[in-house]
Amino acid sequence: MKKLSFLLVLILGLGLFLAACGTSDDEEGNNADNDSTGSDEAASDFSVGMVTDIGGVDDKSFNQSAWEGLKAFGSQHGFTEGEGYGYAQSNAREEYIPNLNRMVRDGYDLIYGIGFELKEDITTVAGQNPDTKFALVDDILEAPNGVSITFKEHQGSFLVGVAAALKTKTNKLGFVGGVNSPLINKFEAGFIAGAKSVNPDIEVDVQYAESFADAAKGKLIAANMYDNGVDVIYHASGATGNGVFNQAKDIKQNDPEREIWVIGVDRDQYEEGQAGDYNVTLTSMVKRVDVAVEQVATLAMNDEFPGGEQLEFGIEEDGIAVATTNTEAMTEEIVAEVNSWQEKILNGDVEVPQTHEELEAFVKALQ
């Protein structure tokens, strides 16, 4: 497996200062007349676009982080949306190939598929268009004109699991996943391993919504978990997680004295937890999709596109982090303990599990 080059690590460090702010949704983003890909001529000889998964470009999580990276890239190089960079929003899986093909026809030099669910379709389109560059986030794209962007999500999930175990008063935690898949299993395994490293007797309720775009399902799952004594929920479910936040905020507004928390994912989701005078976001497992997207675009524009390679971003590459925005919730003691476990990961003293099988062995070793 080819790893992240030293050059990319250096560029990545600089890119941490260039992340852009959020964006508003285009309600008709899937229609050719309304999405930002357009047919306008690019402002320069290079243009880059992305195709979202069904979570939407403003899912406040994964897709939005990628879009922020493209906007930061565009801003840095004087491009405007539709002229140098753009996106196509997918509202159903059947729209992946049409959106990818439309971006090829519109002349984008580099096209991102955001999310592992696009793997099959972007592999097909990349094979049919060898002169166009493609990048797949969160899975392996086996094509000479494609690059794979992956992350060590299990590392960050372990650290927020540590934070959750230190914060819980009930010793009952929850994990809400989107689609039950090897990728989301990495989040689950890391989170449980981190929590049980602090307290082997802690309980973790795991449920999958089987969707990254069902906020109602996320809210229902969260309601059941909180009703059963869970006081900290970590979600790795894209826009489904908006429902988890909504349920926590509803409970907090009705009962301000109750201590319940949500752990966000991909972006720092502190703002999603604001409920009047309270904020229910304990922390977030920050996955710098924005920085990775921005820097691979820069490499492509500079004729340094790492075609056929897998670029893997973890703690060491500044691609994974734990948010400490909520200073009232993430106390100095919790942050210090999280940092201590982070050093153990970096030093190789802790090998964080990525699968259910590895998690089972990890937990047994703690007993």
User: Using one digit for the tens of pLDDT, what is the confidence trace for 185-204?
Assistant: 999 999 999 999 999 999 99
In tens, the pLDDT along 45-55 reads 899 999 999 87
pLDDT of residue 210: 96
Tell whether the model's pLDDT for residue 1 goes beyond 70: no
* 308 and 281 together in one domain: no
Q: Which of 38-52, 200-214, 230-244 has the lowest mean pLDDT?
A: 38-52
Host domain of residue 299: 6-151+288-313
Measure the CA–CA gap between 228 and 156, rounded to whole angstroms.
Answer: 26
Q: Can you give the pLDDT at residue 181?
A: 96
357: its two tokens: 């099988």
Comparing CA positions, the residue from 291, 233, 239, 296 lying closest to residue 261 is 233
Torsion of CA 54, 61, 193, 117, to 10 degrees: 20
Residues 102 and 211 in one domain: no
When computed from its CA atoms, the radius of gyration of the chain, rounded to whole angstroms, is: 20
pLDDT at 19 over 50: no
Structural domain contains residue 320: no
Q: How far is CA 272 from the centre of its chain?
A: 15
Residues 251 and 121 placed together within one structural domain of the fold: no
- Gap between the Cα atoms of 130 and 125, Å rounded: 9
338: part of which helix (H) or strand (E)? helix 332-346
Segment 149-168 mean pLDDT = 98
Looking at residues 214-222, what average pLDDT do you find? Answer: 98
Tokens for 144, please give them.
């000479």
- Tell me what pLDDT residue 44 has: 57
pLDDT of residue 58: 87
Counted domains in the chain: 2
Q: Name 332's bridge partners.
A: none
The answer to whether 57 touches 85, Cβ cutoff 8 Å, is no
Which pLDDT belongs to residue 272?
96
> Strands of 172-177's sheet, edge to edge?
203-208, 172-177, 232-236, 261-266, 281-287, 320-322
CB atoms within 10 A of CB 325: 17
| Residue 73 counted as domain residue | yes
15: pLDDT strictly greater than 50: no
Of 92, 111, 87, 106, the residue nearest 29 (C-alpha): 87
pLDDT of residue 348: 96
Tokens of 143: 């094509």
Model confidence, pTM: 0.83
What's the gap between Cα 365 and its chain centre? 30
The answer as to whether 264 is a domain residue is yes
The percent of residues in the chain predicted with pLDDT above 70, rounded, is 88
pLDDT of residue 17: 38
Contacts (Cβ under 8 Å, ≥6 apart) of 294: 15, 18, 19, 69, 70, 72, 73, 76
State the residue for tokens 């400490």. Answer: 324
- Domain presence at residue 321: no
Span 144-158, mean pLDDT?
A: 98
Residue 118 has pLDDT above 60, yes or no: yes
Tell me the mean pLDDT in the region 322-329. 97
Q: Are residues 229 and 295 in the same domain?
A: no
Q: Residue 215's domain is classified under what CATH number? A: 3.40.50.2300
Whether 256 is in a domain gets the answer: yes
HSE value, Cβ hemisphere, 13 Å, CA-based, for 233 = 35
**Does position 14 have pLDDT exceeding 90, yes or no?**
no
Q: What is the mean pLDDT of residues 244-252?
A: 97
Instruction: For residues 295 and 275, state if they share a domain.
Output: no
- pLDDT-based confidence at residue 228 (cuts at 50, 70, 90): very high
> Is the same domain home to 124 and 16?
yes
Mean pLDDT of all residues in 58-74: 91
Is it the case that residue 154 has pLDDT exceeding 90?
Answer: yes
Structure tokens, 97: 């190939």
Confidence of residue 365 (pLDDT cuts 50, 70, 90): very high
DSSP 46: -
